[in-house]
Amino acid sequence: MDHLGAGDLAVIGGYFSLVLIIGLALSRRAAGGLESYFLAGRSMSWILLGISGMALWFDLTGTMLITSFIYLLGPRGLFIEFRGGAVLVLAFMLAFTGKWHRRSHCMTVAEWYTFRFGEGKAAELVRFLTAVMGIVLVMGMIAYFVRGASLFLCLFSPFSPIVATAVVFGAAAVYTMFAGYYGVVATNLIHGLVVIAACIAVAILAFMSFHGGGELATSAAAVTGNQHWTNTLPSWRVHTPPGYGAYHFLIFIVSFYLLRSVIGGLGSGAEQRYFAAKTDRDCGLLSLLQAGTLMFRWPMMMGYAILGIFLVQRLFPAMSAVHNASALIHHYAPHSTRAFWQDLTAGIVHDPSQYPRGLTAGLRHILGAHWKEKLPLVGYSGQVDPELILPAVLGSIQFPAVRDLLLIAMLATMMTSLSGQVSTATALLINDIYKNFMRPRAGNHELIAASYGGTLLIVAVGFFIGIEAANINNLWGWIAMGLTAGGLGPLVLRLYWWRCNAWGVAAGTLLGGVSAIVERLTAPDLLEWRQFLLMTAISFAATIIVSLLTAPTPQAVTENFYRRTRPFGIWGPFRHVLTVSQQKATRREHRNDLLAVPFVLLWQVTLFLLPMELVMKAYSEFLATLPLFVLGAAGMYLFWWRKLSVNMKDIDRL
């Protein structure tokens, strides 16, 4: 796992130079105004938006994290990522929440709140708080991306992982800054196609690396200690190594993850690609395309996990060597922290002369002559670091062309995720804070220039937060189960309860978000399910109580919202704004949308599971899962696919 050679760097540099040129070439189209800059003029096809959405979900850090869980648990790692990595919210976006938000014709979620609650002090406060919390969330996501990128690059770059990460993030920030959403979608399309090719390559390599499921099960048990690694169905208890005890009672914790995904899904859809979609039908189709293409991610991650098991077995015939090597480093560097552990080990590998001779000699004695190849996998807690399995496997591939393809694909996933998140946050900063509150008379050139500065500011702040993070899983757990859970109350109630008002949303957003940040600062090790229950309860209670204690939204505003959006839920006082025929069509649409969701969820989960079972050569499990996939697909066809054109005709009558 030596760092990259000149040929590798030339290929990778050439690819990203091409992407950067394409992004910059679109800067003139993006400069036409804020709608052009942030929504590509609402002229993109659902195919481009869907592939772009897939690329945004397909982030490097999340891929490394999920691979680590599959490495530890086998295919049951999928269920851990019900907390967000399995993107179950797509089922709700596909069925109804995506089209509901598109009907507003807004540019950002913060602007959407003006559509929902009108104007005035309360509505303006909601718009401001939503923008601020959205920017904070994106900065948290950037920090998450930074942590994963630094872990990844520490195995390949001859420079400090932080410096290498800064260079890659800087390149992504530049093309995002100049090209706007046109550049995000165009570059995401290129990245997405490269990533799919890489997924297929890794799956084939893993499939060819062993003879049968028995061989895999034996090796997995020896390396991970998990005697049931190849089991597909979740069990009440699973074997977990030190540091992962929170997942020992698998079904218990997965139940909370599923609940979080369902509640979050009900409030989802306020994303750029849905605001940018041409029609309601396109919202459903781009969601379907996202889920279908994200399928490639799972056999790839299973492939990396399988190759990782055989790699670790080859590198560490005696697993005690990992513990001894970690203990030796702690002895010579007693003040080392988990956050900078990879910088420390990377420094030892790349420039051992800067460290005590006893340390390097001891590592050579413990790990053998090829200690530099093995050291990056030695974790802070004395075990193989599962979050480094993916880059370790990639670095061990002997075919230069394949290795370069996979490297480009992984770096592409990092850049696409970053560009999409930054574009969203910059839209909130410029459209909803700078233009709305600070410079309402600003001209187009000033706003575009401010967008450039906002992009750089958001990336810089998120970057510096990320370099202090302890590990990927800890940070992602807080984002998914703490920070975003702190906003679930307002996100859900705004769509399904007529009495929810701007003051209630402001209270729920502020108290939920602040509580999550305070929890992170004061109790960072709080169990994820407790974070979720606490933050969700605070956000729902604050939204409901304050809404009831303050005046309702003006009737005309709520009527306009209900007439254009037509959500289901507690909307009794406003159903009269629709004609009798429209009410009948709306009830039929709602029934089909709700019936479709469980089938979409079943289809999506089994769609991800089936190719993993094939890569594992678990053919009996594959045949058991296949009927469930067919059932989910049949339900989708009956309650969703056949109704797409019908729903469009009904909507056009409004």
Cβ–Cβ under 8 Å, residues 393 and 314: no
Q: What is the pLDDT of residue 65?
A: 87
Closest CA to 15 of 195, 238, 165: 195
Cross-strand pairs, 378: 384
Nearest residue to 218 via CA among 301, 322, 309? 309
Looking at the predicted structure, is the pLDDT value of residue 186 above 50?
A: yes
pLDDT at site 317: 87
**Percent of the chain residues past pLDDT 90, beyond the cut:** 37
Q: Please determine, for residue 344, whether its predicted confidence score (pLDDT) is greater than 70.
A: yes
Binned at pLDDT 50, 70 and 90, residue 500 comes out as: very high
User: Domain segments of the chain: what residues?
Assistant: 6-312+398-652, 325-383
The token pair at 1 is 């796992």
- In the chain, count of helices (H) and strands (E)? 31, 0
User: What's residue 145's pLDDT?
Assistant: 79
Tens of pLDDT, residue by residue over 152-161, are: 777 676 667 7
Residue 645, judged by CB atoms within 10 A of its CB (0-12, 13-18, 19+), counts as exposed
Of the candidates 307, 327, 447, the one whose C-alpha atom is nearest the C-alpha of residue 391 is: 307
What are phi and psi for residue 378, nearest 5 degrees? -75, 120
Model confidence pLDDT, tens digit, residues 81-109: 898 888 999 999 999 999 999 998 887 77
544-568: average pLDDT: 95
* pLDDT level of residue 184 (50, 70, 90 thresholds): low
The H-or-E segment that residue 192 falls in is helix 161-207
| pLDDT of res. 439 | 82
Per-residue DSSP letter, 432? I
> pLDDT tens digit string along 529-545?
888 889 999 999 999 99
3-class SS string, 475-524: HHHHHHHHHCHHHHHHHHHHHHECCCCHHHHHHHHHHHHHHHHHHHHHCC
What type of residue sits at position 215? E
The single residue listed with the structure tokens 């696409």 is: 416
Report d(CA 464, CA 406) in Å as an integer.
Answer: 27
Q: How confident is the model at residue 20 (pLDDT cuts 50, 70, 90)?
A: low
Question: In this structure, are residues 60 and 152 in contact, taking their beta carbons and an 8 Å threshold?
Answer: yes
Measured from the Cβ of residue 533, the count of other Cβ atoms closer than 10 Å reads 16
> Among 654, 593, 523, 575, which residue's Cα sits nearest to residue 99?
593
Q: What pLDDT score does 648 carry?
A: 42
Please name the CATH architecture into which domain 6-312+398-652 falls: Up-down Bundle (1.20)
Confidence grade of residue 350 (pLDDT, cut at 50, 70, 90): confident
DSSP symbol at 130: H
Chain segment 283-332, per-residue pLDDT in tens = 999 999 999 999 999 999 999 999 999 999 999 988 889 999 999 999 99
